[in-house]
Every structure is written in C-alpha cells, then in structure tokens.
Structure 1
Amino acid sequence: MTTTTPATTPGTPAPGGKSTAKAVPGPYVTLTRAAFLASVRDRTTVFFTFAFPLVFLVVFGLLFRGQSVDGGLPYINYVAPGVLAWGVGNAALFGPAFALMHWRRDDILRLIWRTPTPLPTVLGSRLLVAIAVGLMQAVLFTAVALLPFFGLHLDGSWPLALPLLVLGVAAFLALGLVVGSLADTPEAVAAIANCVMVPMAFLSGAFYPADLLPGWIRTASWVLPLRYLDDGLTDVLAGRASAGSLALDCGGLVAFAVVFGLIAARIFRWSNRT
C-alpha cells in the first residue's frame, strides 16, 4: 500500500500548520540593499568616500598639531568636524548625482516609471544608504582624530551631531539630484560637483577655521549648506553648542534640502531624449 503526500503551494500551510512560503522583501528593502552593496563593492567609491577625506584630516592634523585657534580651542577640534562635514557632503552629493545621470542615460528611469515601484521609493533607498555611509564616515574620522597623536577632545554632547549628519546628508543628496539632473555625462557630473564642493570647503570653514576668515567671507558663507553642517558639528564636538545655534544650523540644512529638492523636481527628466 502506498501513501501520497499532499502537494503544497507557496503560501498554503503544510501539514502541521506551518507555511512553506518565504517572505519576499519589499522593493524599498531590495533597492536599499542593492545600493549599499554597489557602494561598498566599488573600490574607487570606497577610496574617495573614506580614505581620500581621511588624508586631509591627517595632513591638516600634522601641519597644525599642537596649535590653537581663537578661544584656545585646539586646531584639531576645527579640522576634524570640517573634514567630516566635507566628506559627508561630498559622498552624499556625488553618489546620487552619478546614479541619476547613469539611470537617465541608460533609460533605467523610464523602466522605473513603467514599474509599480514609485520613484520616491528609489530615492528614499538612496537616502538611507547615504545616511548609513555618513554615519560610518563619522565613526572613522572621529576615531582617527581621537588618537593621542592628534588629540581631539570630544564633549559629552556628541550625540547631538546625529541630527546634523542626517539633515546634512539630506541637503547634499538633494543638491546631488540637481547636479545629476543637469549633467548628461560622468565628466559633467564630476566637473559640476567639484566646482561646487571644492570652493565650498574653503569658504565655509571646513578646511580653514571660519573665525580666521575675513568678515565679509564669514557673512557670505551662510549661503552655503556646508557652513551650517560644519558650524554645527564644530560646536557640538567642542561642547559649546546651544539650543539656539543648533536650531539655526538644523533649520538651515532643512531649508537647503527643501530648496534643492524643489529645484531637482522642477528640472527632473526621465530620459535624455525628453
């Protein structure tokens, strides 16, 4: 006498009451995982995201080791937050800008437009990856600056840096969407992004303390998003942040994120042919 086992189909309970169906991750999780793996697997991206900004931290830390700036604050307390702000902004801008340019050039955006996955889900996954990368940069740069050789003094209010990092990533990612919408080639993306980020690094006080800049440059630098991120991180890591100054820096980053986001939405193109 033979017995047969009832066939089961995905989603139907097997004998014993247990389902044989496997949970399928949603599009947001899948896209986030794919974007993160693409970021960490590319050696060039990893180098310019983590190692390249770290070179600036080491060089400036060695050049001005043991020196203090206005108010007696060690120079490393200026350069570490500045390099961190610039590195986070650089990564958040370049990644989405290149991705958007490639997606549009290769007609991937047109394919996304025809799928049930909405574009905000795709961009949201990029934002989550950018935030994760920014937090990893913060841990790495701060750990190096805390080495006794450099002597960064970290105040207990350092958790206040987290909202600044998240808002900074959002602001520069929105700026990256603007650059990616304007540029049609990788060379154009690199040219526009560098023309934006390199001068901003010096004018905002990221590579050179803003307190030592001429007065008119200090005033003009408040139209730059990096100034708000650098100013907030410097105050927080030095333990001199107040509720008012922190709110100003966070509010400035939110404003830039909204403005750049609206501009990106206005000039967005699904394809180079449209």
Structure 2
Amino acid sequence: MTTTTAKAAGTAAVPSAYATLTRATFLASVRDRTTVFFTFAFPLVFLVVFGLLFRGQSVDGGLPYINYVAPGVLSWGVGNAALFGPAFALMHWRRDDILRLIWRTPTPLPTVLGSRFVVAVVVGLSQAVLFTAVALLPFFGLHLDGSWPLALPLLVFGVAAFLAMGLVVGSLADTPEAVAAIANCVMVPMAFLSGSFYPADLLPGWIRTASWVLPLRYLDDGLTDVLAGRASFGSLALDCGGLAAFTVVFGLIAARIFRWSNRT
C-alpha cells in the first residue's frame, strides 16, 4: 500500500469511526430507559408545576409568566442533560480503563467526545420540542413569533458549554456518587441564581450582576428573549459569545486535569 493510499484510508476511517461511535452512544442512551425518562420528565414536572402555580399571571410589562418559566426550565433541563451524561460517561470510562483502550486505538479522543456532543445536541433539541409543545397548550398559553429559530444556535452553544463543564466534573469525580454530588451542587444553585424558575428581574441587583459569571444565565437570557419575541442580533451574539467563552474555559480546564486512568 502506498503512502497516499494509506493516508486516504486513514482519512476515510475517521468519519466511519465517528459515525459508529455516534450511533453506539445514541443507542446506549436510548436503551437506558430510566435515564431517558428522567431526562425529559424531571424538568417537565417543573414546567407543569410552575405553569399551574402562576397560570394567567404576567410580569415585566404584561409578558405572561409562562414566557419566563418555559425557557428557564428548558435551559436548566438542557444544561442538566449535557452535563450529567458526559460526566458519568467519562468517570465510567476512566474507572473501567476504557479510556486506556481508546488511547491504544487509532480513534482520537476528540472523535469520541464529538460523538457525545452530537448525541447531547439531539437530546437538547428533543427537550426543546417537547417543552415548547407543552407550554404552547392553550392551558399554559405560551405564544411564539417568527423568531423562534434563533433558539437553535443558543441550544447548540449551550450544549457545548455544559458538556465542557461535564468533562471537568467527570475528570474530578471517581465514583457515580461523586459525579451526582458535584453536578447537583453546581446545577441547583445555578438554576436559582440564573432565574430559571422565575424572572431574573425579581432577583436583587447584585445577584443579577453576579449571575453573568454563570453559563446558565446566558442560555436562559437568550431563550427568554427569543420566546418573548424581543431578541436582537446584538443580544443573541452576546449570549452565544458568552456560552462559547465558557466552552473554551471549561474545555481548557478539562484538558488540564484529564486523566486516562484512575491509576495515573
């Protein structure tokens, strides 16, 4: 085999490995019915509960409360799924020495992580469709205008940011209990400080200012503007840029503390 032929074969193998890993990751996620159920049902419970409690109420100059709680719960649900999945996977791969096996194969680690990202985006978009469909029911009364497609880049950037955060958590934790503890300590306070369950305008001024150091605030703020029909190119670029910056920061941290095995 000539050098050119070998290079071509290697190049062709990468997309094949990527597609195979993506399919395997997706099938593994779907087979775990308990995780699938709670990935979608748990955040949806918050949407229904808050939608019922504040049904018919308005805030911020007449904007229905559902226009705040729907994007807030969606942001939190997407962030949870994008963080927990990679965190648990990375912890298990390292504990079971799967990462060491990957290290010895021609498949690069970024290809493996890229397959996780694709699956996380699919899950996030599926959550968005489900939550929006429920919020659009006449009983809850969410109204959308033609700007709703702007939510798509926000969701992709949001998934990337929280997946990178999940890689940090998965690199730090050595047990499932540790992953759950760290992730919950991060996500639960972030939900309240970012205004996921109630309008951020109701928070004290200093908390509103401090919340801009949290990635969930950017995702929540962007989706709220989009679903309320008040998103602009400038605000959307700011929110996407903030999420991209968090992706880079958490990605660098994850790369710095990454371990191939618990024995190293």
TM-score, normalised on structure 1?
Answer: 0.91
Following TM superposition, by how much is the alpha carbon of 1:3 offset from its aligned partner in structure 2, in angstroms?
41
Following TM superposition, by how much is the alpha carbon of 1:161 offset from its aligned partner in structure 2, in angstroms?
0.3
Distance 1:33 1:2 in 2: 32
Following TM superposition, by how much is the alpha carbon of 1:249 offset from its aligned partner in structure 2, in angstroms?
0.3
Following TM superposition, by how much is the alpha carbon of 1:217 offset from its aligned partner in structure 2, in angstroms?
0.5
Following TM superposition, by how much is the alpha carbon of 1:19 offset from its aligned partner in structure 2, in angstroms?
22
CA shift in 2, pair 1:239/1:112, >3 Å: same
CA shift in 2, pair 1:107/1:73, >3 Å: same
CA shift in 2, pair 1:265/1:3, >3 Å: closer
Secondary structure in structure 2 of the residue aligned to 1:260:
helix
Q: Identity, % of aligned pairs?
A: 92
Distance 1:3 1:234 in 2: 54
Larger radius of gyration: 1
CA shift digits 1:137-161 (9 cap, x unpaired): 0000000000000000112100000
Following TM superposition, by how much is the alpha carbon of 1:242 offset from its aligned partner in structure 2, in angstroms?
1.1
Following TM superposition, by how much is the alpha carbon of 1:47 offset from its aligned partner in structure 2, in angstroms?
1.7
Following TM superposition, by how much is the alpha carbon of 1:20 offset from its aligned partner in structure 2, in angstroms?
23
Aligned length, in residue pairs: 263
Alignment of 1:66-105 (within 5 A): 66-105=56-95
Distance 2:254 2:2 in 1: 67
157-166 or 34-43, which moves further after superposition?
34-43
CA shift digits 1:76-115 (9 cap, x unpaired): 0000000000000000000000000000000000000000
Following TM superposition, by how much is the alpha carbon of 1:25 offset from its aligned partner in structure 2, in angstroms?
7.6
CA shift digits 1:200-242 (9 cap, x unpaired): 0110011121011110110000000000000000000110011
Following TM superposition, by how much is the alpha carbon of 1:261 offset from its aligned partner in structure 2, in angstroms?
0.2
Following TM superposition, by how much is the alpha carbon of 1:17 offset from its aligned partner in structure 2, in angstroms?
24
CA shift digits 1:148-193 (9 cap, x unpaired): 0000011210000000000000000000000000000000000000
CA shift in 2, pair 1:67/1:227, >3 Å: same
Aligned-residue CA RMSD in angstroms? 5.5
Distance 1:24 1:191 in 2: 36
Q: 2:238 maps to what in 1?
A: 248
CA shift in 2, pair 1:4/1:71, >3 Å: closer
Q: 1:140 maps to what in 2?
A: 130
Runs of 5+ unmatched residues, structure 1? 6-15
Distance 2:145 2:55 in 1: 19
CA shift in 2, pair 1:3/1:88, >3 Å: closer
Q: 1:157 maps to what in 2?
A: 147
Following TM superposition, by how much is the alpha carbon of 1:18 offset from its aligned partner in structure 2, in angstroms?
21
Is 1:176 equivalent to 2:174 in the alignment? no
Distance 1:155 1:228 in 2: 21
TM-score, normalised on structure 2?
Answer: 0.94
Secondary structure in structure 2 of the residue aligned to 1:26:
helix
Runs of 5+ unmatched residues, structure 2? none
Following TM superposition, by how much is the alpha carbon of 1:48 offset from its aligned partner in structure 2, in angstroms?
1.9
CA shift in 2, pair 1:265/1:239, >3 Å: same
Q: 1:24 maps to what in 2?
A: 14
Q: Is the 8 A contact 2:39 2:77 kept in 1?
A: yes
CA shift in 2, pair 1:73/1:122, >3 Å: same
CA shift in 2, pair 1:150/1:107, >3 Å: same
Q: Is the 8 A contact 2:219 2:243 kept in 1?
A: yes
CA shift in 2, pair 1:89/1:24, >3 Å: closer
CA shift digits 1:58-79 (9 cap, x unpaired): 0000000000012210000000
Q: Work out which of the residue numbers 50, 53, 56 in structure 1 matches 2:43.
A: 53
Distance 1:134 1:109 in 2: 26
Distance 2:242 2:24 in 1: 31
Distance 1:258 1:124 in 2: 15
Distance 1:4 1:40 in 2: 40
Secondary structure in structure 2 of the residue aligned to 1:270:
coil
Distance 2:187 2:145 in 1: 28
CA shift in 2, pair 1:113/1:83, >3 Å: same
